[in-house]
């Protein structure tokens, strides 16, 4: 487990469309083992490991590297910064958070403000505050002082370091989906150390949180035969979780195998059988219409790709304190690497 690399990934600010910082961290690390590195106009990063078979049969292992965040929309005459969301936020968790704004002048610290509860009417006190009613206070005295530090369109993320709850459980923002990008890195690295017959491309994809955008581009850029998408999924081991909808999913309970309309049945079966071979617990999660992950756009890209989905159990998704298990990350990487080692240029995933 490379905790130092994971920490760098998690703490690098990179909301959708502004993923430069975490992507650089991913690329710099991958330089040590990739046969070649490339990235495209959307910022998707590609790390190639050549197989031993000499064919063009290629497998993609992909996790999106963007996170949800915010964007500056207005700076008022008093120097307060107004903002909108990047990706899907629960407004209730945004109130009072510490913020880092990524500006051309460097990082700018701020706090999210709202009218104090003491000043609200009893009726308003019972209503959740909307993001449109919040602002960022960067300590500026007026608009002139604020615009010298930040600009319209600057992105922002929640501030803070990962919290190690135990030796295995970490809590932080951006677990969705730096953990998937981490697993894509680790699985491809494992295959670089013990090469498969087929070619492998590890991908840190961009802009998933605003519409699975990077996944469509990578599908046509690589046109792989097989792609394994990585993401987080809702754990159901906390109070109020819906096991009837999301299944028996526990943090630390193993990587989750997606099964459903956006997943190739033979890829799913291969991952399931590999988990059994490794004596690894890998619960199955079903999705009838869509998975809500990059697997959806990869399979719908029209590039004729057999898609699998492996997910990391996550508590409190899309919050500043998402909780994951480090063991789940390593097991997911080992599972995918072993599955890929079993592939040959003759591997056929047609139904």
In whole angstroms, how far apart are CA 342 and each of 77, 196, 247, 270? Answer: 63, 8, 28, 9
Cα 187 to Cα 286: distance, rounded to the nearest angstrom: 24
Supply the Cα-derived Rg of the chain in whole angstroms.
21
* 208 catalytic per annotation: yes
Q: Say if CB 146 and CB 59 are below 8 A apart.
A: no
Cα 245 to Cα 130: distance, rounded to the nearest angstrom: 28
Pick the catalytic residue from 19, 62, 208, 338: 208
Helix (H) or strand (E) holding 98: strand 98-103
Helix (H, G, I), strand (E, B) or coil at 271: helix
Contact residues for 86 (Cβ-Cβ < 8 A; gap 6+)? 15, 16, 17, 68, 69, 70, 71, 155, 209, 210
- Active centre residues (catalytic): 208
């Amino acid at each position: 487990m490379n905790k130092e690399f994971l920490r760098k990934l998690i703490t690098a600010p990179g909301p959708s469309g502004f993923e430069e910082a975490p992507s650089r961290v991913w690329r710099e690390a991958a330089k040590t083992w990739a046969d070649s590195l490339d990235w495209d106009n959307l910022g998707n990063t590609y790390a190639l490991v050549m197989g031993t078979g000499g064919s063009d049969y290629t497998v993609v292992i992909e996790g999106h590297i963007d996170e949800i965040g915010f964007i500056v929309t207005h700076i008022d005459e008093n120097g307060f910064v107004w903002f909108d969301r990047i990706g899907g936020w629960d407004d209730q968790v945004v109130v009072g958070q510490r913020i880092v704004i990524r500006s051309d002048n460097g990082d700018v610290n701020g706090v999210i403000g709202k009218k104090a509860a003491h000043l609200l009417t009893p009726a308003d006190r019972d209503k959740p505050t909307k993001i449109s009613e919040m602002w960022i206070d960067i300590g500026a005295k007026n608009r002139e002082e604020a615009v010298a530090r930040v600009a319209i369109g600057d992105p922002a993320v929640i501030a803070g370091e990962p919290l190690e709850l135990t030796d295995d459980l970490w809590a932080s923002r951006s677990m969705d989906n730096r953990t998937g990008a981490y697993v894509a890195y680790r699985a491809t690295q494992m295959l670089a150390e013990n090469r498969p017959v087929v070619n492998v491309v590890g991908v840190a994809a961009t802009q998933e949180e605003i519409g699975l955008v990077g996944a469509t581009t990578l599908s046509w850029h690589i046109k792989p035969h097989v792609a394994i998408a990585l993401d987080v999924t809702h754990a159901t081991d906390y109070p109020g979780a819906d096991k009837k909808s999301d299944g028996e999913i526990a943090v630390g309970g193993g990587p989750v195998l997606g099964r459903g309309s956006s997943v190739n049945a033979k890829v799913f079966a291969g991952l399931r059988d590999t988990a059994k071979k490794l004596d690894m617990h890998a619960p199955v999660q079903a999705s009838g219409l869509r998975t809500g992950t990059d697997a959806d756009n990869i399979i719908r890209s029209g590039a004729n790709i057999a898609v699998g989905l492996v997910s990391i159990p996550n508590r409190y998704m899309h919050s500043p304190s998402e909780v994951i298990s480090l063991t789940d990350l390593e097991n997911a990487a080992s599972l995918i690497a072993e599955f890929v080692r079993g592939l040959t240029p003759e591997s056929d995933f047609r139904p």
